[in-house]
Chain A
Amino acid sequence: MIRLNLTVPLGDIPALLLPALGDTLIMVGVVMAIVVLAGVPLGCLVHNLAPGGLFEHRVPYSVLSWAVSIGRSLPFLILMASIVPFTRLLTGTNIGIAAAVVPMAIAGIAFFTRIVENSLRGVPPTLVRVARASGASRLQIIRTAQLGEAVPSIIGGLTINTIAMIEYSAIAGTIGAGGIGYVAVTYGYQRFDHGVMIATILVLVALVASVQLIGDRLVRLTTHA
């Protein structure tokens, strides 16, 4: 029979986890706000600088596309460690929520830029022609014929991105960012507390499942086909 190692009384676990969950939600929320604000324009830019786009331009396209690829290709732990000087410059510290937000936002923006670009590519090109023939300006084309039609696909991507950020927040927890990941590492890993470990797993599964559920519902709500 397996003996459970419980250093924290089961009754105290909620008091330990709830503030951590709050921290995770704040971290992921702040990161996702930055990711959407930066990723949507960047995704539009990459898509339309590409050959066949609205302002096709080879050089800026290559530069931007490479930058995004580099951001996408580094494993998060390495990205986080490698930009510590930059993080410190921006936030004045390299531990805590604020410090975790910087690498998470960078990784998230690169991720979301690709997602937006890919979603825009999925919109039938006829619609851009329709908008142009109807007298739309380029901004109007992007707003209506590209983003407007790609909304369900972008929301689907946003769901995946949010879940990835929850995962990243746990990784960030290992360098003392706080949140669920921090609790899992300090209690579950360093103290081998089975109770806390199982509780963090349950909380994370529930969190990811509800994000997915909300995302799926929003996709269905915005799709008219």
Chain B
Amino acid sequence: MISIEKLSKEYGIGASRTVVLDNLDFQVATGEIFAVVGPSGAGKSTLAQCVNLLERPTSGSVIVNGENLSQLSEKQLRIARRRIGTIFQSDGLFSRRTAADNVALPLDYLGVTAAEKKKRVGELLDRVGLAEKAGHYPHQLSGGQRQRVGIARALALRPSILLSDEATSGLDPESTTAIVALLKELRDDLDLSILFITHEMDTVLQVADSVAKLDHGHIVESGSLVTLLRDANSALGQALRPRRGVEGAAAADSVWFVGYDAPDVRPDWVTALAAELSVPISVLGASIESVNGATVGHATIGIAGVDPQRVSAALGRLGLSARLDHMAPASATATVTATATATAAAAAAAAATATVTATVTTTLEHVA
């Protein structure tokens, strides 16, 4: 279990002062994989360096299993670092050491006996599936294999926390999937808390239990992955969904963005919705998948000539959260909760969006 409390990091003083991390708060529970996503420059690498104690935070605490590590002296810090294993971007292997010697590095620093070291390195390489590559140098290994060596090295001192700093960035999709699967296995076997820092949304979908989005040093949104994906109004949830182009709707359609809100959405909900509203439903885009054992889905649908309130209510009864994405001008009269973010749609429909937003906002104010 690792808790980050009111963590801030600033560089420089006076006019040149820049706040890189501003009052971050989050916990990674034992056995949890917590992903932090964000664009470059959001402060992800600074966060990583504060968590593995390479940088001292300006204020705030890093608490591992109840012990506050941010108050320690330089010497105590060196020992405390051993409780957090770090997997680095582009593996960070020593080019002149074999895979086995790279894994042994933290054990060398600690000064364990040769026999003990040999045994532990054997276990670790076996654990990451590289037992037969022990004598290979990094340049003789593939990117995925090198990162496995990096993982084995991070685990050498039996840490309870694993920090993955862009560990899969730069790997091909197959290697990324394999590394992610390995991390999940290790989490289950060793009861690790894993803080997974990345800019790759796809990888987050594969690996995370919870996600936080870091932007300009702030956590702008966070929550469990499934909750975020089910929430049609979550910006982070939307960013995590595979975004593909949506087929253009007919001019008279209202376009809805629908998310699976309940765990038991019936698979034939489109048919049920069409029957209830007595109109044809056009499916413009959809994706349904299983994430962490829960069904998560979203769809973009077009409905012609129905009062948006009725649509919203009918979708709610089916266990779906709905957001009116945009409406063709002809039917734009009703009041709905519409955060009119224009997704990729037909150009004509997109042009109409601005009008719709204005209308809806005005009407909502009247209602309020």
Contacts and interface: CB of A to CB of B under 8 A. Distances in A.
A202 B94 CA distance: 42
Given A129-B54, A224-B137, A225-B95, A137 B109 contact: yes
Contacts of B156: 134
A131 B97 CA distance: 13
A134 B105 CA distance: 7
B215 to A, nearest CB: 25
Contacts of B89: 126
A135 B81 CA distance: 6
Q: Residue among A129, A135, A137, A225 with the most chain B CB within 10 A?
A: A135
A153 to B, nearest CB: 11
Given A126-B90, A224-B139, A225-B139, A131 B109 contact: yes
B164 interface: no
Contact of A130 (B79, B92, B139, B157): B92
B56 interface: no
Nearest to B98: A224
Contact of B109 (A127, A134, A223): A134
B106 interface: yes
Interface string B80-94: 011010101110101
B109 A148 contact: no
A224 B95 contact: yes
A135 B157 contact: yes
B108 interface: yes
Nearest to A126: B92
A69 interface: no
Interface string B48-73: 01001010000000000000000000
A17 interface: no
Nearest to B78: A135
A147 to B, nearest CB: 11
Contact of A134 (B49, B137, B153): B153
Given A129-B54, A224-B139, A225-B139, A135 B106 contact: yes
A222 B79 CA distance: 32
A108 B286 CA distance: 71
B17 interface: no
Contacts of A136: 78, 109
A131 B78 CA distance: 11
Contact of A148 (B94, B106, B139): B94
Give the contact-size bracket for chain B: 20 to 34
A126 B52 CA distance: 14
Interface string B105-136: 11011100000000000000000000000000
Interface in A131-181: 131-137, 140, 144-145, 148-149, 151-152
B237 interface: no
Contact of B54 (A132, A137, A145, A225): A132
Interface string B254-282: 00000000000000000000000000000
B54 A148 contact: no
Nearest to B96: A224
A149 B105 contact: no
Contacts of A124: 92
Contacts of A222: 96
Interface string A192-225: 0000000000000000000000000000001111
Contacts of B54: 129, 132-133
B138 interface: yes
Contacts of A130: 86, 88, 92, 94, 105
A127 B94 contact: yes
Nearest to B74: A138
B78 A137 contact: yes
B285 to A, nearest CB: 41
A135 B157 CA distance: 10
A77 B201 CA distance: 65
A222 to B, nearest CB: 7
B88 A132 contact: no
A188 B97 CA distance: 50
A126 B165 CA distance: 12
Contacts of B153: 134
A53 to B, nearest CB: 15
A148 B86 contact: no
B74 to A, nearest CB: 10
A7 to B, nearest CB: 53
Contact of A149 (B95, B106, B109): B95
A54 B92 CA distance: 18
Given A126-B88, A224-B137, A224-B138, A134 B106 contact: yes
Contact of A151 (B49, B52, B78, B96): B96
10 A-B pairs with least C-beta separation:
A134-B106, A224-B137, A130-B92, A135-B82, A133-B86, A136-B109, A126-B92, A225-B139, A135-B109, A133-B52
20 contacts: A124-B92, A126-B92, A127-B92, A129-B92, A130-B86, A130-B88, A130-B92, A130-B94, A132-B54, A133-B81, A134-B106, A134-B156, A135-B78, A136-B109, A144-B94, A149-B95, A149-B96, A152-B96, A223-B96, A225-B139
Interface of B: 49, 52, 54, 78-79, 81-82, 84, 86, 88-90, 92, 94-97, 105-106, 108-110, 137-139, 153, 156-157
